[in-house]
Each structure stands twice: as structure tokens, then as C-alpha cells.
Amino acid sequence: MKSENRPVLSASFNTRRVDLGKVSSHETKKPAKQGNRRQLEQHEASLVPLIRSKTPINIVMIGGERLDEVCVIGFDRYSIAIEYDGFRETVFKSAIARIITPAEV
């Protein structure tokens, strides 16, 4: 058996070998892969510093109920997780009329 006819195997799993002469045009135009994270909306971006600093805020619900001194502990696309009166609760964003934050955050 001749060893020059056998394919060359690579022991590196993290690298990809590419022959630049054989790259098709559609491979060079691919955008950089963005992670699975979605773009934050404006109100969500303002919640991030509140979560980190544990700043209490006031939330006014659509029904008129007012939640004072609420600490935001997390959020997702549809809801906000809060600590209120010693309990952890989940509030749907669609039920919130206003979020009142201190002037300096």
C-alpha cells in the first residue's frame, strides 16, 4: 500500500480547513452569526440596570392598582418577575400601564 493515496486526517476538531480557490461566492457573503439572543426592546433595556442595582420602582397596573417599592428580579418577552411585600410575583407586561423609576438609576 502506498501512503500517498490515503487522505490526510486532522486531529484538530475546532478548526476548519478551507481551500480559498474552491470557496463559492455564497459562502463569502454570509453575515456573521448572531447568537440566540434577541434584541432588547427599549423598556427591557431600562430594566437591566434596575435589576443589577436592585433599585425599588413603582408600577401602575391597567386596572389602576399601584405597586410601590417593587424590586425587579427578572423579565422575559411577556412578563416581569418582581419582589413585592416579601413575595415573588410574575406580572404580565400587557397588564402594566406605567413603570415609574427614580430619576437617578
| Domain residue limits at 55 | 39-105
Is there a domain that residue 28 lies in?
A: no
Is there a domain that residue 23 lies in?
A: no
Is there a domain that residue 44 lies in?
A: yes
pLDDT at 33: 59
Q: Which amino acid is at 15?
A: T
Considering the chain, what percentage of its residues have pLDDT values greater than 90? 41
Is there a domain that residue 105 lies in?
A: yes
Number of structural domains found in the chain: 1
Is there a domain that residue 24 lies in?
A: no
pLDDT at 10: 47
Is there a domain that residue 82 lies in?
A: yes
* Full-model pTM: 0.59
**Better pLDDT: 6 or 51:** 51
Please report which residue ranges of the chain form alpha helices under DSSP H: 25-28, 42-53
Give the CATH number for residue 62. 2.30.30.100
Is there a domain that residue 25 lies in?
A: no
**Better pLDDT: 99 or 36:** 99
CA pair distance 6, 86, nearest whole angstrom = 69
Average the pLDDT over 37-46 and give the result: 76
